[in-house]
Amino acid sequence: MRYPKKLKKGDTVGLICSSSAIGTDRVAECKKAVEDLGFQVKLADNLDQDYGGYMAGSGKTRGEWVNKMFADPEVNGIFCIRGGDGGSRAMEYIDFDLVKANPKVFVGYSDVTSLHLALNQQCDLVTFHGPMVSSNMVDSFDEETKASFFAALEAEDTFEFCNPKGCEIDVMKTGKASGRLIGGNLSLLSAAIGTPYEPDTKGKILFIEEVCEPVTKIEKWTYHLKNAGKLADCAGIILGQFTKIVNEECPAYDVYKCLEEIFEDLDIPVMYNVESGHGKPMMTLPMGALCTMDAEKKSIVFKVER
């Protein structure tokens, strides 16, 4: 599995909505935000389409735009504008042979998790769980999020993940492990079980994050992974941002207490408060890259293979 070729100033970035759309007035803002980073821009034509009230066109339309951007020789990288819903509908239309033959930078998170899983596992491509254009770059591309983003994309031999200043990574279960990083949004990981892009966690480091859900759903989706054998197969687990996760009936039994109990019988390292997900700042992780996590040192280091 390889890192894609680096982006450089003046390169062309394709902007896509693989899940939900943005408003028409937001399209120009997104284009400008990426141009201000020093890139030229190509826009998919479905960015502001309203299909079903929550999707940027049909699954076929969105899947074909993924293909077009990977096939376009002028496009050097692909940034997802936002997540949302409906990404699973696009998966059957993606030409993975085409993607594998045309590796390039691909960035997104949230509902984009399905694409990360497929591109990592079926295309041997390292992708980036990093900031999206409308969700992060237009209004709140803070310096720490930006620095982490470019550090991950431009890394040479190794890339050490760093939390924002003043925010320490915590340890749930001690130990050290190495393996390729896989994962993303918890609900999408659970939904992928039984599909062609089901996460293969054997010997891998599993990354999980989630947003705006009750603890009851975190428990249900994590137990789905556990009962499917996905947690027992892991070399280690990294827990990202669990943003606006609530347990109104019993606030003391929070998401970390719930997860600690689920992971209790696993003899693998588990680190949490890793600031990548739906919070801000949002630090970038290279999905599919070879990762070494050391809970004693609280370090997460990736090997860059180009």
The per-residue pLDDT for range 25-58, each reduced to its tens digit, is 999 999 999 999 999 999 999 999 999 999 999 9
Q: Which of 141, 167, 187 is the last residue of a domain?
A: 141
**Which residue type is seen at 144?**
E
Is residue 152, in this structure, part of any structural domain at all? Answer: no
User: Residue 95: which residues within 8 A CB-CB, separation 6 or more?
Assistant: 67
Is residue 201, in this structure, part of any structural domain at all? Answer: yes
Q: Are residues 206 and 137 in the same domain?
A: no
Q: Are residues 136 and 189 in the same domain?
A: no
Is residue 5, in this structure, part of any structural domain at all? Answer: no
Is residue 154, in this structure, part of any structural domain at all? Answer: no
Residue 72 belongs to domain spanning: 12-141
DSSP one-letter string for 152-211: HHH-SSEEEE-PPTT---EEEE--EEEEEEEEEEHHHHHHTTTSTT----TTPEEEEEEE
Is residue 193, in this structure, part of any structural domain at all? Answer: yes
In the prediction, which pLDDT does 108 show? 98
- Would you name the residues annotated as active-site residues? 110, 209, 278
pLDDT tens figures, 194-227: 999 999 999 999 999 999 999 999 999 999 999 9
Q: Which of 115, 141, 167 is the last residue of a domain?
A: 141
Q: Which of 88, 110, 141 is the last residue of a domain?
A: 141
Phi, psi values for residue 241, rounded to 5°: -75, 130
Q: Are residues 98 and 186 in the same domain?
A: no
Average of per-residue pLDDT across 90-112: 98
Phi, psi values for residue 27, rounded to 5°: -60, -50
Q: Are residues 137 and 172 in the same domain?
A: no
Beta bridge partners of 2: 125
Q: How far apart are CA 204 and CA 296, in angstroms?
A: 19
Is residue 153, in this structure, part of any structural domain at all? Answer: no
Question: In this structure, are residues 161 and 287 in contact, taking their beta carbons and an 8 Å threshold?
Answer: no
Q: Are residues 54 and 118 in the same domain?
A: yes
Looking up residue 228, the CATH number of its domain turns out to be 3.50.30.60
Is residue 289, in this structure, part of any structural domain at all? Answer: yes
Average of per-residue pLDDT across 182-194: 98
Beta bridge partners of 208: 184, 239
CA nearest to 201, candidates 173, 227, 239, 235: 235
Q: Are residues 112 and 192 in the same domain?
A: no
Report CA-CA distances (Å) from 261 to 9, 49, 92, 128, 253. 47, 43, 36, 30, 11
- Three-state secondary structure call for residue 98: helix
Q: How far apart are CA 251 and CA 42, in angstroms?
A: 46
Given pLDDT bands bounded at 50, 70 and 90, which one contains residue 138?
Answer: very high
Q: Structure tokens of 16?
A: 């896509």
The residue whose two tokens read 């692909």 is 78
Question: In this structure, are residues 147 and 255 in contact, taking their beta carbons and an 8 Å threshold?
Answer: no
Is residue 151, in this structure, part of any structural domain at all? Answer: no
Q: Are residues 120 and 227 in the same domain?
A: no
Looking up residue 22, the CATH number of its domain turns out to be 3.40.50.10740
